[in-house]
Structure 1
């Protein structure tokens, strides 16, 4: 449960001083009911009243690095949804108690259990941090975080999106394969498929069975930066290959692959967020499909 809450929805300033915050946002500390994990939860709520169906929700991984970027993109673009394709939405960022943009804890939360001999080599040659906690992290989202958000806000349970980048993109695809109807939309940016590539091939049959047991369409977008194509991990090739395999599945899935010109692994995030917002929210625009 959430045991500490910091409301940053308003800022008081004196002449020439004052901390800058993002209007309409708040930050809370939340513990998982399993695994004894602690997370910083960032939430942005629209100023507009919710539609009859409730607000669409985007769950954002690595919130310490990209929460502000996504919140401001939604705030600006949702002013004219008929032009932008972006409607007001709740952004729920999952981050860590760090002042930096990333925490080493993400290696544990976003990755699947895998033998150390199968891990890719770390660029600086040092050992990887603890890894393999994706199953518990998904339980936290489904059993702890989603119910909390549903109790606090009027949300559209049929319009929920998961956004992850790099290892977060790997985790988004893990959720798609293990619990495909947990979200309506999946955004996997620069997914680190090289961490668990064999697992996705081995689980494809089970994934197809899960799809047949559910009802409704699912949308998946895989996005990479053009400059990532030279990375030895085969990031772009792996993502393009997976998008192709998913596209031929006859299950009502909408699959898109986008390579962003002249962008690298980190610079791809702002254009990816812009494209992801239209991809996830356009159906909520009056007249949208």
Structure 2
């Protein structure tokens, strides 16, 4: 009789930590190439760690393992390596891959015009009220605070503790920010407000619709109102990858449990978001400017909002390894 030993599975060459901030704890996860040592150092002492792209992935609980798997498969095929840094929330380890209340604050931009009021709802869809019976609204517009956390806390922690073999941030050849949905919206916010922090910005299915497209009227307009960013320290202008799935607006298909009514409601909901239309329009505007080294637009046939996320990672990282790698 064959005997099997059952054990908890762990992913090699990864580590994580939880950092406490005044705005709540964040979980930071890191992975590095399988042909490096378990301590995060290359086996070949002559290998230039600074030349390996570092890819920051938002909503890390949902996409850390996906990004790590893609990086390792592409290393096998393209002979290019990546380091993945994913940022998420410790709450998601026991509840779900997303923490809606946290990410809705962290990933949405502030706006001079004000912010929408979204009622908090319980598990049964009922609006939550406070002790006086007043509605409780979701906190929104914290992108500036979250961006500061990345710059002041997470990035310094990366080379100081999580991966000490990594050089200082400004010495890295290729720095990438990748986000989906609200994460894609934050990626655009980071690009428009701090274009030199990363070299490549991958905004997947970005929620441009948020707050009546305030990202366009405010942050994009301010960015384009400035002279094109000058290439500093040998760096090129930023690269932007925009994408969406046609199933988010153009080719909406019914789900197995849809009724005619629920399918129609979902079609109407997606039509209001203009995911493909907004992404196309932004790409068309930005491609006409002198602010970028490249603006690349893709639409994934039949992919819906959730399935498009991993396709975007795959396509973006493939393009990165073959064309956008500053250190190649």
Rg comparison, structure with higher value: 2
Deviation at 1:30, TM superposition (A): 1.2
Q: Could you report, residue by residue, the CA deviation over 1:35-75 in whole angstroms, capped at 9, with x for unpaired residues? A: 43310011001234242634210000011111111101111
* 1:206 and 2:222 aligned: yes
Per-residue CA distance 1:185-242 (angstroms, 9 max, x = gap): 0011110111141342233342035553432221101111110015121111111101
Tell me by how many angstroms 1:284 deviates: 7.0
- Match of residue 245 from structure 1: 285
Q: SS at the partner of 2:297?
A: strand
**Secondary structure of residue in 2 paired with 1:111:** coil
Match of 1:62 in 2: 59
CA distance in 1, matches of 2:319, 2:309: 15
Q: Which has the higher strand share?
A: 1
TM-score, normalisation: structure 1: 0.83
Does the aligned pair in 2 maintain the 1:64–1:102 contact within 8 Å? yes
Contact kept? 2:177, 2:187, Cα under 8 Å:
yes
Aligned equivalent of 1:90? 83
Query: Does structure 2 conserve the Cα–Cα contact (< 8 Å) formed by 1:179 and 1:210?
Result: no
Query: What is the Cα deviation at residue 153 of structure 1?
Result: 3.2
Separation in 2, partners of 1:147, 1:287: 21
Aligned to 2:19: 30
- Deviation of 1:76 after TM superposition, in Å, equals 1.5
**Structure 1: segments with no counterpart, 5+ residues:** 1-13
Go from structure 1 to structure 2 and tell me whether the alpha carbon gap of 1:171 and 1:120 turns closer, same or farther (over 3 Å shift). Answer: farther
What RMSD over aligned residues (CA atoms) do the two structures have, in Å? 2.7
In the aligned structure 2, how far is the partner of 1:182 from the partner of 1:51?
A: 21
What is the CA–CA distance in structure 1 between the aligned matches of 2:229 and 2:327, rounded to whole Å?
Answer: 30
Instruction: State which drifts further: 43-52 or 134-143.
Output: 43-52
Match of 2:313 among 259, 273, 276: 273
In the alignment, which residue of structure 2 is the partner of 1:159?
A: 174
Question: Residues 94-130 of structure 1, C-alpha deviation per residue, up to 9 Å, x if partnerless?
Answer: 00012211002100100123535477999x6857621
Q: Tell me which of 226, 247, 261 is aligned to 2:246.
A: 226
**Alpha-carbon spacing, 1:285–1:244, altered in 2? closer, same or farther (3 Å):** closer
Structure 2-normalised TM-score?
Answer: 0.74
Q: Is the 8 A contact 1:120 1:194 kept in 2?
A: no
Change in CA separation of 1:286 and 1:219 when aligned onto 2, cut-off 3 Å: closer
The 2-side partners of 1:252 and 1:173 are apart by: 13
